Amino acid sequence: MALQSKQRALDIRLELFGEEHSSTADSYYSLGVTQHEVGDIDAAFKSQQRGLDIKLKLFREEQFNSLDGYYSLGIKKNELGDFSSDRTEWLDILDYK
């Protein structure tokens, strides 16, 4: 039920605000959290990546504290077994802070 509610909220925000809006990005992130909770790690990664991409496009990395978003995506990559890019992404995060 929660997953359907989060998807519906995303659909409504897409209809009201369009793809490139901070509220839409928040819905993508929230949907990703719920997808992760039900065990759909691949979908969670894609949803949260989309939310982060929107926020970065809207607010630019200098204005948006993206550390939490990167951290969340790194965890999902590990759960998916993708260890190839983690080291350089984490180094980028450390340089950012």
The domain spanning residue 22 has which CATH number?
1.25.40.10
pLDDT of amino acid 59: 80
Provide the domain limits for residue 35.
Answer: 2-96
Average confidence (pLDDT) over 57-65: 67
Number of domain units in the chain: 1
Q: How far apart are CA 10 and CA 27, in angstroms?
A: 5
Q: Find the angle CA(32)-CA(37)-CA(38) to the nearest 5 degrees.
A: 100
CB 32 within 8 A of CB 48: yes
CB 57 within 8 A of CB 20: yes
Q: Which residue has the higher pLDDT, 13 or 55?
A: 13
